């Protein structure tokens, strides 16, 4: 039986959550379901949905309890008559509750992507039929916030197999020496992603390695060359062919202080670029320490630098990790994510 699913995502930027919504909607359509995604006007998600020929509706969602937005969504509920409403972020969650007031026959499913303990009895009360946690760490946080384990499904985020293309040659582009050890950071350059720690990590590298390391920053502002802790870095900003850009790296730095799972890390592993990360959130569920990457105790900057030095000095270990990381990343496929989400829907509808 095919399902009509109304997805809600209020994000104005293109981040991991929005990418998952796009992949999920595309996968559901391929399975014969009928998804409709409500997204912010002029958002990258809206443009990409329409570019992919997926049904999408623009609704400006200014705040959690935006009455006008809730009314617009409620009108869509009346005209489109979905089997399931699926909210994908905190604001969409609140707006869905408002739009569904009095409509008890339409179940609400909420995806939770952050490993923080939630607050608020209304938002996390029984009106949400089921929560989808993107990792065990997110599930544990929901349980600590009072959500019963019986109302939570863990469905790991999924990424498609990266396209096969020649890696981007950063050494040639930037005029860096051929023996450069090329590291990278990928994603939104925000505080919780550990961007402020990059300089401290660089300062703790051995002097000889510090001179040889170059750091490419993919995401955030494109500010060109900078120096971070004595390491020459290049702020490339957001790039269109991000997989080619990532494939040109030797190592991924992921010094995030909080991570639901980390789709940038999955992408890196799928491309055969081993990651180093703090053991926070869902990352230990993704990275097998010593096999598909290295995990460092949370906040241990010296340990992070030591891990960089270890992999820089051991090409054979990097090669083993390259193959192991690709095999591990294959377990986090879009197909599994789509199927796991559908199974959560079926549990709700079977009640």
pLDDT at res. 1: 79
Task: State pLDDT tens for residues 52-85.
Answer: 999 999 999 999 989 999 999 999 999 999 999 9
Question: How far apart (Å, rounded) are the C-alpha atoms in residues 235 and 189?
Answer: 10
Model confidence at 271, in pLDDT bands (50, 70, 90)? very high
User: Quick one: average pLDDT of 205-223?
Assistant: 94
pLDDT of res. 321? 97
Check whether 193 has a pLDDT greater than 90.
no
| Matching fold, domains 4-158+333-349 and 170-329 | yes
Burial class (CB in 10 A: 0-12, 13-18, 19+), 207: exposed
**How would you class 92 by CB atoms within 10 Å of its CB: exposed for 0-12, middle for 13-18, buried for 19 or more?**
buried
CA distances from 136 to 141, 157, 226, 313 (A): 9, 12, 37, 34
The CATH classification of domain 170-329, taken from the options 3.40.50.2000, 3.30.230.70, 3.20.190.10, 3.40.50.10680: 3.40.50.2000
Which tokens sit at 2?
């095919």
Q: Where are the domains of the chain?
A: 4-158+333-349, 170-329
Are the C-beta atoms of 164 and 245 separated by less than 8 Å?
no
Query: Looking at the predicted structure, is the pLDDT value of residue 215 above 80?
Result: yes
Res 189: pLDDT: 74
Whole-model pTM above 0.85?
A: yes
* CATH classification code of 4-158+333-349: 3.40.50.2000
Lowest mean pLDDT among 216-225, 260-269, 333-342: 216-225
Instruction: Determine the Cα–Cα distance for residues 11 and 90; give it in Å rounded to an integer.
Output: 10
**Cα 294 to chain centroid, rounded:** 19
- pLDDT averaged over every residue in the chain: 95
Q: Given pLDDT bands bounded at 50, 70 and 90, which one contains residue 334?
A: very high
The contacts found for 289-296 with CB under 8 angstroms, 24 or more apart, are: 291/320, 291/321, 291/324, 291/328, 292/321, 292/324, 292/325, 292/327, 292/328, 292/329, 293/265, 293/269, 293/321, 293/325
Q: How far apart are the first and last CA of the chain?
A: 16
């Amino acid at each position: 039986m095919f399902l009509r699913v109304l997805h809600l995502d209020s994000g104005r930027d293109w981040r991991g959550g929005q990418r998952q919504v796009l992949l999920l909607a595309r996968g559901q359509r391929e399975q014969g379901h009928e998804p409709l995604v409500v997204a912010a006007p002029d958002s990258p998600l809206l443009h990409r949905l329409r570019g992919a020929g997926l049904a999408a509706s623009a609704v400006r969602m200014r705040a959690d309890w935006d009455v006008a937005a809730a009314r617009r969504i409620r009108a869509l509920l009346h005209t489109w008559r979905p089997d399931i409403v699926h909210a994908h972020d905190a604001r969409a969650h609140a707006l869905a509750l408002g739009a569904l007031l009095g409509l008890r026959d339409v179940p609400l499913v909420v995806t939770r992507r952050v490993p923080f303990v939630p607050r608020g009895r209304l938002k996390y009360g029984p009106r949400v039929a089921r929560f989808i946690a993107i990792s065990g760490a997110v599930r544990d946080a929901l349980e600590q916030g009072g959500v019963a384990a019986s109302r939570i499904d863990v469905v790991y985020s999924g990424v498609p197999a990266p396209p096969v293309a020649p890696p981007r040659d950063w050494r040639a582009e930037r005029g860096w020496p051929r023996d450069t050890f090329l590291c990278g950071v990928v994603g939104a350059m925000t505080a919780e992603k550990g961007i402020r720690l990059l300089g401290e990590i660089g300062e703790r590298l051995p002097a000889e390695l510090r001179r040889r390391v170059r750091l490419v920053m993919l995401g955030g502002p494109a500010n060109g060359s900078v120096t971070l802790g004595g390491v020459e870095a290049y702020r490339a900003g957001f790039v269109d062919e991000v997989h080619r850009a990532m494939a040109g790296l030797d190592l991924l730095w992921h010094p995030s202080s909080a991570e639901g799972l980390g789709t940038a890390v999955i992408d890196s592993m799928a491309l055969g670029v081993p990651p180093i990360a703090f053991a926070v959130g869902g990352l230990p569920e993704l990275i097998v320490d010593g096999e598909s990457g290295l995990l460092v105790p949370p906040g241990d900057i010296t340990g992070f630098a030591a891990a960089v030095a270890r992999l820089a000095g051991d090409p054979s270990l990097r090669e083993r990790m390259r193959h192991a990381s690709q095999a591990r990343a294959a377990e986090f496929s879009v197909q599994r994510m789509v199927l796991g989400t559908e199974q959560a829907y079926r549990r709700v509808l079977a009640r």
